[in-house]
Amino acid sequence: MISFTRPSAEFFVDTPRLRFFCRSSGASDGVPLLLLHGSYASSRWWTHFCAALPEEIYAIAPDLRGCGQSDKTDAGYTIEEQADDVAALLDALDWESCHLMAHSSSGAIAIEFALQQPHRLDTLTLVNTVPVEGVFTPLDGYLLLEQMRSDRGLLRAALRALMPAASIDDDHPERQRFFETLVEDASQMAPAAFTETARALAQWNRFGDARRLTLPTLLIWGELDTIVDRAATTRTLIAIPGAANLEILRGVGHSPMIEQPAALAARWLDFILADFDAYDAVRRSALDNDEPDADETA
């Protein structure tokens, strides 16, 4: 059930790297969950998902670099730098560890952070994530991304394509108004944010390194996604030893937190409540088997 009566707040968090704007939901002494939005998005995208969580989950969704009300910088958009942003935010929040959920392009940021600081994550959930080997964007793709800066109609159409199952029409005025706030948020991004994350993804590849990710990991994918296909998602699943399963949401596109927030919340809650000890040995053996024997290194 979605409820907008959960405790919530909006606030800024200062870090040595940048100033974050954050939205929180749930009891502040609850189980910590950090939510990372994708490209052309903001923390607002998680509103309905957070409303579907129990109060015992304390979710914080930041506006990432260049987005929403966070600092709009000209640089700092590599995947590695944005993973450092996440680390700085956790430090400022005084969170020793948390559950991490990331959508779309932020899946790369989450994977990078998990490789850098695995001890700070209890679980990792990747929602319609970019593939673990990165993404190549052709030249005409960059031209289109640049055009979105000044063509609001094009930007609106691009965002609408990310959520095909969402009821955004005259029969649902509240959802239509919400969607327009998402378009407005995207239009206010830093100029660099329109293209630099795409450039960063073209330079990023952790397919080989992903074998070190043994923490409990869940992949979720909407079957109507036209941005990330199932084959790419399956490659990511295979690359991560800690990934127990690929959950497929039927009748959902690229943005489950907007299209079916309650279903996404239910899948995630089932995941974090699972008995991870039952297959922990299997996850760790995958890493151990990848290490060379002593005789081989002598």
Name the residue among 8, 124, 128 with its Cα closest to residue 59: 8
Residue 297 lies in a domain: no
CATH of the domain at 102: 3.40.50.1820
Residue 159 lies in a domain: yes
Q: Rounded to whole angstroms, how far apart are CA atoms 164 and 147?
A: 22
Supply the pLDDT for residue 151.
Answer: 97
Domain that holds residue 262: 8-290
Residue 88 lies in a domain: yes
Supply the pLDDT for residue 292.
Answer: 47
Supply the pLDDT for residue 169.
Answer: 87
Mean of all residue pLDDT scores within the chain? 92
**pLDDT tens readout for residues 134-155:** 999 999 999 999 999 999 999 9
Residue 87 lies in a domain: yes
Supply the pLDDT for residue 244.
Answer: 80
Residue 1 lies in a domain: no
Q: How many domains does the chain have?
A: 1
pTM value is 0.91
Question: How many C-beta atoms lie closer than 10 Å to residue 286's C-beta?
Answer: 16
Supply the pLDDT for residue 276.
Answer: 63
Residue 2 lies in a domain: no
Supply the pLDDT for residue 133.
Answer: 97
Per-residue pLDDT 10s for the chain (298 aa) are: 555 577 899 999 999 999 999 999 999 999 999 999 999 999 999 999 999 999 999 999 999 999 999 999 999 999 999 999 999 999 999 999 999 999 999 999 999 999 999 999 999 999 999 999 999 999 999 999 999 999 999 999 999 999 999 999 888 999 999 999 999 999 999 999 999 999 999 999 999 999 999 999 999 999 999 999 999 999 999 999 999 889 999 999 999 999 999 999 999 999 999 866 654 554 455 455 555 444 443 3
In this structure, are strands 31-36 and 57-62 parallel, antiparallel, or unpaired? Answer: parallel
Supply the pLDDT for residue 278.
Answer: 52
Residue 296 lies in a domain: no
Contacts of 18 (CB under 8 A, 6+ apart): 65, 70, 71, 73, 76, 85, 88
User: Which amino acid, 12?
Assistant: F
Give me the half-sphere count of Cα atoms (radius 13 Å) on the Cβ side of residue 7: 11
Contacts of 19 (CB under 8 A, 6+ apart): 12, 13, 70, 71
